[in-house]
Structure 1
Amino acid sequence: MTDARLLGADEATFIAAVRSDDTARFVLLTERHRRELQVHCYRMLANYEDAQDMTQETFLRAWNKRESFKGHAALRTWLYRIATNACLDFLEKRNDRTPTPSELPGSEMLYLQPYPDRMLPEDPQESLVARETIELAFIVAVQHLPPRQRAVFILRDVLGWPASKAADALELTVASVTSALQRARVTMREQLPDRRLDWRRPATHELSDDERGVVKSYIDAHERNDLDGLMSLLRDDLRFAMLPELGAVIMTAEDAVDGWVAGGLFQRGHDDWRCVTTTVNRMPAAALYLRTPGDPEYRLYTIAVLRIVDGKIAELTGFDATDKPWLGLPPTL
């Protein structure tokens, strides 16, 4: 994502809007970048609601700093710079946004939230919507980088910015950016040992037929309260997390199902399900709706995000969705 030219049509129009105090034109020019900026903030923060807030903060700061824009960089670059620093300021104030050491990556990130695919940028060619850079495992891994190192890694290896451009955005030297990137890559290799690390290569976007089939079977088993069917879909080294209550644990398929039953699921009052297939973070997911006795409607209960490997569910991350208007899903069925 390099600047095509120093003063393009958007930049000239933006400067003219600033000089004439044309708020409508300012909004028109900046709003078109909202989705990609929100993805950027989400990668920095791993929390959808915080990403929304920081995107809005970005536009507020851009308005307040509008006269500082001289067209020396693309408008998009200027907005990314503001968004990155807004996230860094946020992280500096929040001591609950730094993962604590754990043997199981991500188990301590109770603030993790899913990202609705419908809010991703619409251009499928944009590297920033690549599945490999929005999946939960990637988002979790990035959180293990110190904030400024995290920013360097995202700007350099995900967005493909040159070192000089990243250094300017973060007010660092090129040498500091290069050093931070090297350290970040080491951590990412530790956090994602089985994943590729060349984030700028062509990447996948769509779910496979295998993934769709497993999600359908998962939903069918859930709606029929078929515990054996559910168990058959899970790997025996399942990585399970229920957020925000419970961090990640590794368990067998049998232990997972037994634990759900012991917690009350599939028992009377928690056995009338309807499920909807969806996708979040470019991953297959199921929205689980529960109807309790005496209630005429099924109410959104949990979002189950699945990572499927060789036809089995290797990771299941559940997000409590009660009373949350997440992902554009209807609250009731």
Structure 2
Amino acid sequence: MTDASPLGADEATFIAMARSGDTARFALLTERHRRELQVHCYRMLANYEDAQDLTQETFLRAWNKRESFRGNASLRTWLYRIATNACLDFLDKRNDRTPVPIELPGSGSEVLYLQPYPDRMLPEDPQESVVARETIELAFIVAVQHLPPRQRAVFILRDVLGWPAPKVAGALELTVASVTSALQRARVTMREQLPGRRLDWRGPATHELSKDERGVVKSYIDAHERNDLDGLISLLREDLRFAMLPESGTSTTTAKDAVDGWVSGGLFQHGHDDWRGIATTVNRMPAAALYLRTPGDPEHRLFAVAALRIVDGKIAELTGFDATGKPWLGLPPAL
């Protein structure tokens, strides 16, 4: 596994560090890659906390293998190789990290271990780190989970990061023919999971929310704060796709049936009717952080985050996440 560029300053410094065992210099050289490696692990695993753990495992392995680094590949490539294989080792040991069938006939499967990715933890330079909006959105992350682990790794390295086939083959200890075959099968699955979506994942993609998206999020929060059920229904598409994780039960439902279901579950009823909200983003998607004040509590407590996919001014997909006990979301715990 080699890069075309000659030995760079970082690589030469890393080799010198490996000989001296300088932990401070090791941290200086590797920490600058933490955020992009964590996004890479997240794409592999769809779970923010797992991605954090596997990024730390990557640095531990890199430290233990530091003397094996020869500079034949860039330091960044070497770290990606370690991170990818650390994720594959993790997936080999876990039988609960695959999509599970949805109970409703014809509804496919869902990823119960999916967690949102806080935008504040994305790399600051999206061009350098290849974090286009479309490759971090929940729909893409879920679709990738339907690939077997090694196909997943090949697809991400080839079609997201843009690595050439020989470089991927070296990283995963596969033949170039195996990489090509795995990529072809992965692309077929991705077309099935994301019909109508573009397949050139390395192309430019927008990063900023549109004015329309921001307006819908504001209206969604306002409807909660006013307990305006009709207003909430008006924001939802009639073929709304809804999930509340980590509970199972992704469904496609009408707007009215969705809201009726939330009400029958206790929301917008006494004790669950005093809402506040703030607009935010996760996975570079518009989102609403919802805070609930229960009787006797002087403050509104962080309750859930609703990630929204908005199409033509309506919410087409709503993925809710339990936000309690997740400080890594970077949201105020109370309002």
Question: Scaled by the length of structure 2, what TM-score is found?
Answer: 0.97
Aligned to 2:266: 264
How far does residue 101 in structure 1 lie from its aligned partner after superposition?
Answer: 4.6
CA-CA distance at 1:3 after TM superposition:
4.2
* Whole-Å separation in 1 of the counterparts to 2:10 and 2:96: 38
The CA RMSD over aligned residues, in Å, is 1.2
8 Å CA contact retained: 2:99, 2:112: no
Corresponding residue for residue 146 of structure 1 = 148
Distance change (3 Å), C-alpha of 1:35 and 1:73: same
What are the ranges of 5 or more consecutive residues in structure 2 without an aligned counterpart? none
**1:211 counterpart (210, 213, 233):** 213
Partner SS, residue 126 of structure 2: coil
Between 322-331 and 131-140, the greater mean CA deviation after superposition: 322-331
Shift of 1:139: 0.2
Matched, 1:156 2:158: yes
Do the aligned partners of 2:307 and 2:320 also contact (CA within 8 Å) in 1?
A: yes
Secondary structure at 2:79 match in 1:
helix
How many residues align? The count is: 331
Instruction: Give the Cα–Cα distance (whole angstroms) in 1 for the partners of residues 118 and 53 of structure 2.
Output: 16
What letter is aligned with 1:36?
E
User: Contact 1:110 / 1:247 at 8 angstroms: preserved in 2?
Assistant: no
Say whether the 8 Å CA contact 1:41–1:54 is kept in structure 2: yes
Q: Give the distance between the partners of 1:221 and 1:326, measured in 2 at CA.
A: 27
- Give the Å deviation of 1:129: 1.3
User: Does the CA-based 8 Å contact 2:123-2:129 persist in structure 1?
Assistant: no
CA distance in 1, matches of 2:66, 2:75: 11
Identity, in percent, stands at 87
- Counterpart of 2:233 in 1: which secondary structure? helix
SS of equivalent to 1:193: coil
- In the alignment, structure 1 residue 314 sits paired with structure 2 residue 316: yes
Per-residue CA distance 1:215-237 (angstroms, 9 max, x = gap) = 01101111110000000000000
State the 1:281 CA deviation.
0.3
Matching residue of 1:297: 299
Partner Cα separation in structure 2 for residue 6 and residue 90 of structure 1? 33
Deviations 1:192-231 (A, max 9, x none): 0021010011111111111011001101111110000000
- Aligned equivalent of 2:240: 238
SS of corresponding position for 1:149? helix
CA–CA distance in structure 2, aligned partners of residues 296 and 101 of structure 1: 42
Cα deviation 1:295-322 (Å, max 9, x = unaligned): 0111000000000000000000000112
Q: Is the 8 A contact 2:36 2:129 kept in 1?
A: no
Q: Which amino acid in the other structure matches residue 154 of structure 2?
A: V
User: 2:124 maps to what in 1?
Assistant: 122
CA distance in 2, matches of 1:220, 1:271: 13
Instruction: Give the whole-Å Cα distance in 2 for the aligned partners of 1:4 and 1:131.
Output: 28
SS at match of 2:100: coil
Corresponding residue of 1:86: 86
Which aligned pairs between 1:1-333 and structure 2 lie closer than 5 A? 3=3, 5-102=5-102, 103-105=106-108, 107-126=109-128, 128-333=130-335
Supply the distance in 1 between the matched residues of 2:144 and 2:193 (Cα, whole angstroms).
Answer: 9
8 Å CA contact 2:37–2:83 kept in 1: the answer is yes
Q: Distance in 1 between matches of 2:111 and 2:96?
A: 9
Give the Cα separation in 2 of the matches to 1:162 and 1:15.
25
Within 2, Cα distance between the matches of 1:82 and 1:28? 18
Q: Can you list the C-alpha shifts for 1:2-43, whole angstroms capped at 9, x where unaligned?
A: 946231000001101111111100000000000000000000
In structure 1, what is the Cα distance between the partners aligned to 2:124 and 2:292? 32
Query: Partner letter of residue 155 of structure 1?
Result: L
Stretch of structure 1 that moved more, 34-43 or 314-323: 314-323
Change (3 A) 1:309 1:28: same
Q: Which amino acid aligns with 2:295?
A: P
Give CA-to-partner distance per residue, 1:232-271, whole Å, 9 cap, x none. Answer: 0000000000000133100000000000100110001001
TM (norm. structure 1) is 0.97
Does the CA contact (< 8 Å) of 1:141 and 1:191 recur in 2? yes
CA contact (8 A) 2:133 2:206 kept: yes
Q: Which runs of 4+ in 1 moved over 6 A?
A: none
Deviation at residue 128 of structure 1 after TM alignment: 2.3
Q: Which amino acid aligns with 1:100?
A: V
In 1: Cα distance, 2:9 partner to 2:129 partner: 23
Secondary structure in structure 2 of the residue aligned to 1:278: strand
Distance in 1 between residues matched to 2:245 and 2:30, nearest whole Å: 34
Residues in 2 aligned to 1:4 and 1:124: alpha-carbon distance in whole angstroms: 23
SS at match of 1:217: helix
